[in-house]
Structure 1
Amino acid sequence: MEKIKNYYQQAKSELTKVIFPTKDQIRNAFVSVFVVVAVVSLFLAMIDMIMSYTLSNII
């Protein structure tokens, strides 16, 4: 029983050391990820359209 009590005390102690991000940091990270994903998906869509157009003209 002492081991379990000691474990929870140490876990609680470690949680006090954690630095959680602020709302602004979370929002900035979300916007950054969203922009990068949008740009990459648009690039891949453009490459797909070019390749599709090229192959349809060849065939």
Structure 2
Amino acid sequence: MEKLVTYYNHSKAELSKVIFPIKEQIRNAFISVFVVVTVVSLFLALIDVIMSYSLSSLI
């Protein structure tokens, strides 16, 4: 039982050291991820269209 209490106390102490992000940081991270994913997906779609067109014209 003593080990369990010690584990709980250590866990509580470590959790108090954690710095949780604020709303603005979460929003900025979301916008950054959204922009990067959108740019990469548009780039891949463009490459797909180019390769599809070149393959269909080749055949």
TM-score by length of 2: 0.98
Tell me what 1:16 maps to.
Answer: 16
Tell me what 1:37 maps to.
Answer: 37
Whole-angstrom CA distance in 1 between matches of 2:3 and 2:9: 10
CA offset at residue 51 of structure 1? 0.4
Count of equivalent residues = 59
**Aligned residues: percent identity?**
71
List alignment gaps of at least 5 residues for structure 1: none
Q: Deviations over 1:1-59 (max 9, x none)?
A: 00000100010000000000000000000000000000000000000000000010010
Give the root-mean-square deviation of aligned CA atoms: 0.3
TM-score by length of 1: 0.98
Tell me what 2:54 maps to.
Answer: 54
List alignment gaps of at least 5 residues for structure 2: none
Whole-angstrom CA distance in 2 between matches of 1:4 and 1:55: 65
